[in-house]
Amino acid sequence: MIEIATLKTALASYIGFRQPVTAQVSVSTALATSVSGQYWDDFHPLLHTDNLYYCAPQGPATGVTASVFNTWLGERVNASIGNLFNRLATNKKLSGSTKSIFANYQLFTGAGRLTDQITKSGRLVGLAIVPRNINNIRVVVNQVGLQLSSVQTGLPVYLWHSSRVATVDSMTVVTSRTDSFDWQAADFSLDFVNYANDIDPGGTWYVGYFENDLTGNAIRKSYDFYSGPCRGCKGSMENVTRFDLWSKYVDVIPFSCKSTHLSGVNFPDIENLEYDDTNNFGLNLALTVKPDVTELITSNLQILAYPLGLQFAYDTLHWMLLNPSGRINPLQNNSQSVLDYELSGDKTSNKRGLLIEVERAIDALAEDLSNISAALPSNRPSGIEYGVL
Full DSSP string of 163-210: T-SS-SEEEEE----SSS-EEEEEEEEE-S-BGGGTB-SS--EEEEEE
Percentage of the chain modeled with pLDDT above 90? 58
Identify whether residues 277 and 302 lie together within a single domain: no
Q: In terms of residue numbers, what domain contains 168?
A: 102-292
Does 82 reside within a domain? yes
**Residue type present at position 313:** A
User: Which of 270, 292, 314 marks a domain boundary?
Assistant: 292
Residue-wise pLDDT tens digits, 229-262: 998 888 899 999 999 999 999 999 999 999 999 9
β-partners of residue 377 are none
97 pLDDT more than 80: no
380 pLDDT more than 60: no
- The residue among 218 and 101 whose pLDDT is bigger is 218
Which CATH number fits the domain that encloses residue 203? 2.60.120
325 pLDDT more than 70: no
Of the given ranges (19-23, 24-28, 62-66, 331-335), which has the lowest mean pLDDT? 331-335
User: Which of 292, 322, 343 marks a domain boundary?
Assistant: 292
pLDDT, position 183:
96
Does 389 reside within a domain? no
Does 354 reside within a domain? yes
Identify whether residues 351 and 216 lie together within a single domain: no
Identify whether residues 285 and 301 lie together within a single domain: no
Residue-wise pLDDT tens digits, 159-211: 999 989 999 999 999 999 888 999 999 989 887 766 666 677 778 999 999 99
Neighbours of 146 (CB within 10 A): 23
- CA-nearest of 376, 386, 209, 210 to 296 is 376
Name the average pLDDT for the chain.
86
pLDDT, position 257:
98
pLDDT bucket at 64, cuts 50 / 70 / 90: confident
Identify whether residues 304 and 342 lie together within a single domain: yes
pLDDT, position 382:
43
pLDDT, position 309:
96
Residue-wise pLDDT tens digits, 67-95: 999 999 999 999 999 999 988 877 755 65
pLDDT, position 250:
92
Does 127 reside within a domain? yes
Give the separation between CA 133 and CA 89, rounded to whole angstroms: 20
Identify whether residues 321 and 267 lie together within a single domain: no
Q: How many domains does the chain have?
A: 2
264 pLDDT more than 50: yes
Does 86 reside within a domain? yes
Identify whether residues 204 and 276 lie together within a single domain: yes
Does 8 reside within a domain? yes
Identify whether residues 114 and 173 lie together within a single domain: yes
Per-residue burial over 10-38, b = 16 or more CB atoms within 10 Å of its CB, e = otherwise:
bbbebbbbbebeebebebbeebbebebeb
Identify whether residues 231 and 109 lie together within a single domain: yes
pLDDT, position 70:
94
143 pLDDT more than 70: yes
- What angle is formed at CA 19 by the lines to CA 18 and CA 23, rounded to 5 degrees? 130
Does 239 reside within a domain? yes
pLDDT, position 329:
52
Residue-wise pLDDT tens digits, 16-45: 999 999 878 899 999 999 999 999 999 999
Compute the half-sphere exposure of residue 277: CA atoms within 13 Å on the CB side of its CA.
Answer: 7
User: Which of 277, 292, 307 marks a domain boundary?
Assistant: 292
Give the separation between CA 71 and CA 78, rounded to whole angstroms: 11
Identify whether residues 120 and 77 lie together within a single domain: no
Identify whether residues 178 and 240 lie together within a single domain: yes
Give the separation between CA 128 and CA 289, rounded to whole angstroms: 16
343 pLDDT more than 90: no
β-partners of residue 137 are 291
Identify whether residues 47 and 64 lie together within a single domain: yes
- CB under 8 Å to 86, separation ≥6 — which residues? 4
pLDDT, position 374:
54
pLDDT, position 54:
86
Identify whether residues 148 and 279 lie together within a single domain: yes
Cβ(226)–Cβ(191) below 8 Å? no
